[in-house]
Amino acid sequence: MKFKSVGKDIRVSKPDPRFARLLLEQFGGANGELKAAMQYFTQAFSCKQPYPDKYDLLMDISIEEFSHLEIVGATIQMLLSGVSGDLKASADESEIMQTMNGKAAKESFMHEAMFNPQFAVLSGGGPTLTDSNGNPWTAAYVTANGDLTVDLRSNIAAESRAKIVYEYLMSFTDDPYVKETLRFLMTREVAHYQQFEAALNSIQPNFPPGVLQSDPRYSNLYFNMSDGVEIKGAWNEGQSTQLREEWQYVAEPLEKVKKSNGLTECEPEGTERTEKEVLQADKALAKERSEEIKQATPLKAIQWSTYGE
């Protein structure tokens, strides 16, 4: 991992326990560095053998995110400087309390501690593997679905969220060193976004994700579900973005459902795709993808790496 080396120069101007708490969002939060690292790492297993180039991409970025996790954790640790020293001095507190000075100091310490009590009473002044509200990191944040055209889209979205969280964080510190670090990290998310997008583009066809085509009877309906105001936009009139079908605006979904006997008697409209073509496409693509994978994963004497070859 060579964490020190692949990272960057990390500094803080002075301790700031309040910002340390905010920054936890990117250490152990839903869109933070651990989430990113573990997501790409977990996805990588599925594509090691059929798609070694994508495996390499996912592992490169996963490890870079681990190095970012170290950058974020180190920054938090430095922003908390002093807290652990104070805790170790706890035996002296009877002394401190004999002076007004001490009282104020303790009060101030207490107040700071309240921003994230676990820095004070659990971690002894180090980062905790939680988000900014103290929720422990959970693998529920991670998505890995074994289909690269799905996983890469998950990653593009994940990088978008990580980017905006760094942007929000930058509003809450004036420390120029910390801002420099945040800007670096934010920028890397922008780079990764484009890397995943390029990888997605290199797989064709990639829409819809997976193998099965959509049913032409339902793929271009827009149901007006929420209320009487009918707002029109590119999402419910004109052509759809990928299949280039004409959107069918269903202003009164209830009527539609009743008239079509629970949608069982719908006919495709605004599209030239036919059921027959769809089934053929399904079969052809299924065969292609399935063979690709089966070829890559012989069912016995399976090995992962190849030493001595």
Site for a copy of itself in 136-155 (CB under 8 A): 136-147, 149-150, 153-154
Tokens of 146: 């074994």
304 is an interface residue for a copy of itself by CB under 8 A: yes
CA–CA distance, 196 with 58 (Å, rounded to integer): 9
Q: Three-state SS across 140-204? A: HHCCCCCCHHHHHHHHHHHHHHHHHHHHHHHCCCCCHHHHHHHHHHHHHHHHHHHHHHHHHHCCC
Inter-CA distances, 271 with 38, 170, 207, 211, 285, Å? 41, 47, 16, 20, 21
271 is an interface residue for a copy of itself by CB under 8 A: no
For the chain, what's the residue count?
309
CA–CA distance, 221 with 269 (Å, rounded to integer): 9
Given 60, 105, 270, 271, the residue binding a copy of itself (CB under 8 A): 60
CA–CA distance, 123 with 20 (Å, rounded to integer): 13
76 is an interface residue for a copy of itself by CB under 8 A: yes
264 is an interface residue for a copy of itself by CB under 8 A: yes
The DSSP call for residue 93 is H
CA–CA distance, 125 with 194 (Å, rounded to integer): 37
98 is an interface residue for a copy of itself by CB under 8 A: no
The one-letter code for the residue type at 214 is S
- Strands 248-250, 221-223: pairing is parallel
**At closest approach, how far in Å is the CB of 263 from a copy of itself?**
4
268 is an interface residue for a copy of itself by CB under 8 A: no
100 is an interface residue for a copy of itself by CB under 8 A: no
Size of the site for a copy of itself (CB under 8 A): 194
270 is an interface residue for a copy of itself by CB under 8 A: no
**At closest approach, how far in Å is the CB of 83 from a copy of itself?**
9
Given 99, 108, 202, 274, the residue binding a copy of itself (CB under 8 A): 202
x/- mask, a copy of itself, residues 105-134, rule CB under 8 A, reads: -x--xx--xxxxxx-xxxxxxxxxxxxxxx
236 is an interface residue for a copy of itself by CB under 8 A: yes
**At closest approach, how far in Å is the CB of 268 from a copy of itself?**
11
Given 99, 104, 108, 183, the residue binding a copy of itself (CB under 8 A): 183
90 is an interface residue for a copy of itself by CB under 8 A: yes
Given 33, 36, 86, 104, the residue binding a copy of itself (CB under 8 A): 86
